Chain A
Amino acid sequence: MTIIITAFERSPDGGMGLARDTRVRWALEEVRQPYGVRLVSFRAMKEPAHLALHPFGQIPTYEEGDLALFETGSIVFHLAERHAGLLPDDADARARAITWVFAALNTVEPPILELVTAKIFEGDRPWTKERLPLVEDRVRERLKQLSARLGRADWLDGGFSAGDLMMVSVLLRLKPSGLLNEYPNLAAYLARGEARPAYKRAFDAQLAVNTGKLPGG
């Protein structure tokens, strides 16, 4: 059955790969499932047809026959559960890998998103200058703890898993800030994630959309 995901017609980041469809593309590439992409405009995202797929009017969504999913986390979880490549076989190891998916989305991403939005949308207004160091410290606290846990390991718990896919995706948002350079093992972890062939294919595919060079015409 054909898998169709949605993505921005034009991503606000201009193809840096930070839009969330990249996470889903990466998961699809890791589990080697072919997929199609339907591009949606900002206007179309707020219209009933798209809202029926995604109650918050966002991307990405996932359609596969009768199944329609929203939320990046649930789409990656769905793919990881059904195809080999993103979760270990052992039941306990699977539960731990899923724990890292949630840690990425519910513990590490919130302060990072706050930092990114403070910088992008709020510029150098006085109150931002006041708040920014506080938010940066909250991000550092999480990075310090994550760095301590990762230690010298390649991935968070054994082999590469959906947990790493999500954690790397979340940390990628920090690249422009330079904060990751304070934690060399996390910077190396990020580089390992970006070096995966599946990530590269996902990144290139979203870049092609955003630079108008659609592969295969």
Chain B
Amino acid sequence: MAELTLTTFDWVPELPRGFVRDLRVRWALEEAGLPYRVASVPFGDRKPEHFAHQPFGQVPWLTDGDLSIFESGAILLHLGQLSAALIPPDPRGRSEATEWVFAALNSVEMASLPWALLKFTGNASDTPGWKFLDDFLKLRLKHMEAALAGREWLAGSFSVADILMSDVLRLVDRFDGLAEYSACRDYVARATARPAFVKARADQMAHFAAADGRTG
């Protein structure tokens, strides 16, 4: 198998640490037990080489031999082809995992990211704009609560869909947005108790902390 290389920033400020999206890819790689290498690009000065791999100047991206892909959803579906630990091998499980991958990124995160951004910037005040985003997220969470009440994982067994959905919900939880959604909360707790998540998170924290040492 070609060598897998995950690229992330060399350093980020304290606040996003533990939530940078390379964590999703690290987590999947750890779940699958696939060997990989981590490479860095400058956070501050994003060069043409960076945009050649990631046209939006973001991270992460993954190279697999000659192939270079970005978008955490695409990377996780790609890794899913390499390991049954990431996508159930039966057709039904595979369909379910795929639809929940898209649901996490295009239905739930679509609502949670603008919500979290306002929380993050301290603009979650009593305005109609905030209320609109808050209602949008609550609508999604209400449906997720129902979906998660009856199951341990989204597609039968644990899959990349759970990595993405729990990571999306984890950011909401960080700002106490899951207080009234116990099934969502339990689900996040279940997912983040997995050894692969614990290692992925610790590795990300250590990666950025090491850069503090180099610059400080």
Contacts and interface: CB of A to CB of B under 8 A. Distances in A.
Contacts, number: 110
User: Closest 4 CB pairs between A and B?
Assistant: A73-B102, A102-B71, A74-B99, A149-B55
Contact of A99 (B58, B69, B146): B69
B122 to A, nearest CB: 15
The prevalent SS among residues of B at the interface is helix
Interface string B92-133: 000100110111011101100110000000000001110010
B103 A92 contact: no
B176 interface: no
Interface of B: 51, 55-58, 66-67, 69-74, 77-78, 95, 98-99, 101-103, 105-107, 109-110, 113-114, 127-129, 132, 139-140, 143-144, 146-147
A146 interface: yes
A128 interface: yes
A128 B107 CA distance: 23
A207 interface: no
A71 B99 contact: yes
Given A103-B56, A110-B113, A145-B55, A71 B103 contact: yes
A57 B142 CA distance: 11
Nearest to A135: B114
Given A103-B56, A107-B71, A149-B55, 9 more contacts: A55-B147, A71-B102, A96-B69, A98-B77, A102-B74, A107-B56, A127-B127, A146-B55, A148-B55
Contacts of A56: 103, 107, 139-140, 143
Contact of B128 (A51, A125, A149): A125
A117 interface: yes
Nearest to B56: A145
Interface string A138-160: 00001001101100000000000
